[in-house]
């Protein structure tokens, strides 16, 4: 038709590998991207492969066809395709070579990482921790002889608890006695008869104070009235404590350890320039109480899923991943994205109905765990997740079958395998707060990605000062040259992940951490280097939705009765927070993922305990299972799409994207502006239609009235000025 231009806009998946197609009678127009506040110009004559990312440095204007401008006000990323996606499978090669886990580990690597010394194996504890660190032990189960103030009360005497920045608030870093004498004690109520086997002690967490216990005694009781001391032969045992504030010190009781309900830690000496302060964990095996007829109520909530709930070092992780791919060869594919500094491979488990292939319109999803090697829960959750998906797919669980068929899932359980091995060798309770956090080179990988925030904000500042929008970019931002040089202090593991991001068009991701209970979303860095400040992205509302999806379905985060982990009460934010509003992080993976690849990435802090004991893993799986699944299902949504072209009136409509095998079609009809119609008619030497003649006459009259009014106003002003003089 001469007076209208028709567009077909094809959308698939809310944020994930979405494809857009605009077509008209005279050709096909590819849509580069649809962003929340970002607008990109494209033309009907320009075509590109759907796998190609936009080149933000080149103009895409054409003099032969109208420009098409698309904007979205609800969601962001809609990628392009050059032809209408067929309902049959179309694939592209976005894959890495398959890893053969039957091959042995390189002998040189094995010698470097595992020295075959006894201290290289973690100490096997006879009994698990009661749960002071994991918060299974409630605040009401802790008492003390005295304490200095609320922030140093007995509820703060938990292993690895972290203080706030300032001493003196309610979130201090230990239990500290009010008096300095040998009569002070911290008491733990196990609530059940327990065979106590040991105690782990730390000093006070503080950047201002240096307090720790040198020696201590231990007593047991069944009623808190009569106490029996731990013995060393015929004498009361005195246990060695700490030599610094952070390194955990383990003391094991002898084989005739007392069965009791209560245990007390009684400091005998302490650092001479400090005071009586400690953080503790208690080891013990709970026993059934024959006097309790309701003993069944005390059973710990576990899980019905038959999964491998234990901590897996590198060798055991390989075995587990191999067993999963052998059980489900049709939907799994194991590949490596690179090697760590020590030579350990960074394995990824891909799960898809066509493993090893990228399918047009199918979202690419990733979970990354173990960026900080000592934050081990994410690693085990991903290993559990791949087992669970395999098992449920074979059983015909329709939710899992649908997820596998409609999403290409990538699971990287260990981004920092060197750091994990360091922490694993110490064991879950003795690794402390920081051992294994960094790479072997001492790099914190969550501060190691290219700082593209600065590139973007510098471009915004340049635009503001020079009114030059040609240099303004805020997505697909290229990596600065200095970062890609060989001299750049970038970990091998970081480079491997960046290469992974660039080779597979991920659209949704989550980065699993530990040590808190909260979900954070970009930006992670403040613009003015403030320690913390809310610094939202243009897609803030959608990021908040993604974070809420995980947090609201996590059984611990969503529990209104839970206590804060360390020094922040995230419940007042509904357990989600802008990353920069928690603490500023330069070079985070989330910000880089969003700005360089247009992939939405959030950080999930999974647990107060970074490295929970193996006995906690079934409970943690249940806490996170629904969250892990539902986060991957975030593909449905509504777009408000505005289509405009030069010479046409813009058109806006709501387009709902369904979770289907095929893209959603959204049609538009654009009518030509009177000016465009006149231009085309005059170019052809034709006569003007009556409606257009009338419209032009009205425009001339409007223009004449406006000019007459302006002339009369100037004359009146001049007349008033003349009379005044």
Residue 46 and residue 470: Cα distance in Å, rounded?
Answer: 20
H or E element at residue 392: helix 377-395
Tell me what pLDDT residue 8 has.
58
Tell me what pLDDT residue 657 has.
64
Tell me what pLDDT residue 202 has.
96
| Domain regions of the chain by residue span | 139-290
Q: How many residues does the chain have?
A: 725
Which residue is catalytic, options 380, 392, 493, 605?
605
Angstrom distances, CA of residue 405 to CA of 20, 89, 90, 353: 21, 11, 14, 5
Tell me what pLDDT residue 63 has.
35
Pairing, β 518-521 against β 576-578: parallel
**Residues 171-218 pLDDT 10s:** 899 999 999 999 999 999 999 999 999 999 999 999 889 999 999 999
Q: Which residue has the tokens 């944020």?
A: 15
3-state secondary structure of 305: coil
Residue 324 and residue 388: Cα distance in Å, rounded?
Answer: 9
Phi-psi region of 204 (alpha: psi -120 to 50; beta: other; left: phi over 0): beta
pTM of the shown model: 0.78
Tell me what pLDDT residue 675 has.
78
CATH architecture of 139-290: Sandwich (2.60)
Tell me what pLDDT residue 240 has.
96
Tell me what pLDDT residue 288 has.
81
Angstrom distances, CA of residue 173 to CA of 134, 432, 610: 16, 14, 17
Mean pLDDT by 10-residue block, N- to C-terminus, for the chain (725 residues)? Answer: 54 39 32 29 30 37 36 34 30 70 80 65 88 95 96 96 82 94 97 95 93 97 95 92 96 84 97 95 88 51 88 96 96 96 96 92 94 97 98 96 95 97 93 93 95 88 63 78 90 96 94 97 93 92 94 94 92 95 94 94 96 95 96 75 85 70 76 81 79 81 88 86 75
**ω before 523 within 30° of 0 (cis)?**
yes
Residue 13 and residue 633: Cα distance in Å, rounded?
Answer: 10
Closest to 136 measured CA to CA, from 194, 97, 78? 194
**Tokens matching residue 304:** 């019905």
- Whether 300 sits among the annotated catalytic residues: the reply is no
Tell me what pLDDT residue 297 has.
44
Residue 10 and residue 23: Cα distance in Å, rounded?
Answer: 10
Residue pair 367/628 in contact (Cβ under 8 Å)? The answer is yes
Residue pair 32/54 in contact (Cβ under 8 Å)? The answer is yes
Tell me what pLDDT residue 44 has.
28
**Tokens matching residue 447:** 């501060």
């Amino acid at each position: 038709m001469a007076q209208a231009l028709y567009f077909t806009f094809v959308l698939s998946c809310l944020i994930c590998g979405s494809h857009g197609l605009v077509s008209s009678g005279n050709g096909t127009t590819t849509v580069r991207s649809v962003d929340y506040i970002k607008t990109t110009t494209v033309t009907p004559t320009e075509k590109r492969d759907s796998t190609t990312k936009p080149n933000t440095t080149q103009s895409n204007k054409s003099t032969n066809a109208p420009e098409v401008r698309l904007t979205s006000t609800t969601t962001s990323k809609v990628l392009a395709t050059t032809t209408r996606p067929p309902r049959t499978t179309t694939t592209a090669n976005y894959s890495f070579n398959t890893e053969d886990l039957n091959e042995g580990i390189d002998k040189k690597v094995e010698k470097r990482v595992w020295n075959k010394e006894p201290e290289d194996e973690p100490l096997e504890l006879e009994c698990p921790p009661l749960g002071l660190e994991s918060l299974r032990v409630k605040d009401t189960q802790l008492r003390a002889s005295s304490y200095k103030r609320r922030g140093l009360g007995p509820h703060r005497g938990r292993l690895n608890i972290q203080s706030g920045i300032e001493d003196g608030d309610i979130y201090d870093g230990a239990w500290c006695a009010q008096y300095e004498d040998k009569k002070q004690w911290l008491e733990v109520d196990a609530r059940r008869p327990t065979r106590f086997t040991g105690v782990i002690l730390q000093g006070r967490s503080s950047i201002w104070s240096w307090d720790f216990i040198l020696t201590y005694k231990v007593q047991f009781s069944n009623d808190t009235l009569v106490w029996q001391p731990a013995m060393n032969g015929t004498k009361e045992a005195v246990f060695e404590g700490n030599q610094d504030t952070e390194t955990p010190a383990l003391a094991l009781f002898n084989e005739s350890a007392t069965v009791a309900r209560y245990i007390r830690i009684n400091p005998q000496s302490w650092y001479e320039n400090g005071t009586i302060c400690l953080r503790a964990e208690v080891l013990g095996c709970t026993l059934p109480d024959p006097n309790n007829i309701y003993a069944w109520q005390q059973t710990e909530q576990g899980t019905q899923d038959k999964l491998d709930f234990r901590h897996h070092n590198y060798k055991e992780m390989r075995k587990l991943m191999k067993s999963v791919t052998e059980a489900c060869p049709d939907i799994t594919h194991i590949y490596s994205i690179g090697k760590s500094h020590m030579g350990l491979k960074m394995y990824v488990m891909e799960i898809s109905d066509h493993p090893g292939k990228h399918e047009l319109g199918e979202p690419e999803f990733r979970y990354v765990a173990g960026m900080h090697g000592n934050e081990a829960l994410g690693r085990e959750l991903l290993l559990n997740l791949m087992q669970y998906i395999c098992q449920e797919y074979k059983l015909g669980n329709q939710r899992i079958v649908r997820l596998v068929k409609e999403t290409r899932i990538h699971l990287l359980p260990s981004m920092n395998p060197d750091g994990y091995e360091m922490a694993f060798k110490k064991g879950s309770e003795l690794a402390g707060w920081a051992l294994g956090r960094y790479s072997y080179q001492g790099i914190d990988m969550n501060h190691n990605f290219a700082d593209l925030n600065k590139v973007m904000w510098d471009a915004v500042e340049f635009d503001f000062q020079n009114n030059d929008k040609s240099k303004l970019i805020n997505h697909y931002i290229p990596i600065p040259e200095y970062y890609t040089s060989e001299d750049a202090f970038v970990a091998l593991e970081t480079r491997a992940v960046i290469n992974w991001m660039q080779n597979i068009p991920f659209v949704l991701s989550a980065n699993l951490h530990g040590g808190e209970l909260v979900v954070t979303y970009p930006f992670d860095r403040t613009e003015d280097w403030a320690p913390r400040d809310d610094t939202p992205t243009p897609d803030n509302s959608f990021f908040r939705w993604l974070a809420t999806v995980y947090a609201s379905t996590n059984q611990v985060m969503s529990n209104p009765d839970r206590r804060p982990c360390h020094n922040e009460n995230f419940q007042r934010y509904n357990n989600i927070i802008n990353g920069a509003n928690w603490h500023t992080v330069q070079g985070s993976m989330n910000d880089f993922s969003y700005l360089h690849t247009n992939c939405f990435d959030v950080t999930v802090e999974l647990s107060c305990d970074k490295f929970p004991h193996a006995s906690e893993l079934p409970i943690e799986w249940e806490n996170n299972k629904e969250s892990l699944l539902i986060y991957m299902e975030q593909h449905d949504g509504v777009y408000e799409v505005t289509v405009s072209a030069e010479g046409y009136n813009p058109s806006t409509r709501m387009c709902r994207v369904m979770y289907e095998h095929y893209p959603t079609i959204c049609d538009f009809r654009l009518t030509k502006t009177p000016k465009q119609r006149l231009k085309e008619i005059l170019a052809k030497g034709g006569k003007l239609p009556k409606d257009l003649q009338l419209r032009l006459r009205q425009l001339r009259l409007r223009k004449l009235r406006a000019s007459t009014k302006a002339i009369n106003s100037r004359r009146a002003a001049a007349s008033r000025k003349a009379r005044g003089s």
